[in-house]
Amino acid sequence: MARTRRHDPERRERIVDAALRVVGRAGITGLSHRTVAAEADVPLGSTTYHFASLDELLVAALRKANEGFGRLLRESPALAAPDADLAAVLARLLGEWMGGARARVELEYELYLAALRRPALRPVAAEWTDTVIAVLAHRTDPVTARALGALMDGLCLQALLTGGAYDEEYAREMLARILNEPPNSPPPGLSEPPTCPTGT
* Mean per-residue pLDDT of the chain: 84
65, 103 Cβ separation under 8 angstroms: no
CATH class of 11-52: mainly alpha
Write the class of the CATH domain 63-180. mainly alpha
Most confident of the ranges 3-7, 54-58, 80-84, 107-111: 54-58
Segments making up each domain of the chain, as ranges: 11-52, 63-180
CA distance 128 to 131: 5
149 within 8 A of 129, measured Cβ to Cβ = yes
What confidence tens digit (pLDDT) does each residue in 178-188 have? 998 544 444 44
pLDDT at position 192, please?
Answer: 45
Express each pLDDT in 41-84 by its tens digit: 999 999 999 999 999 999 999 888 887 788 888 889 988 888 88
Confidence of residue 110 (pLDDT cuts 50, 70, 90): confident
Non-local CB neighbours of 32 within 8 Å, separated by 6+ positions: 54
Instruction: Give residue-wise pLDDT tens across range 113-140.
Output: 888 899 999 998 888 888 888 888 888 9
pLDDT of residue 127: 84
CA distance 152 to 175: 8
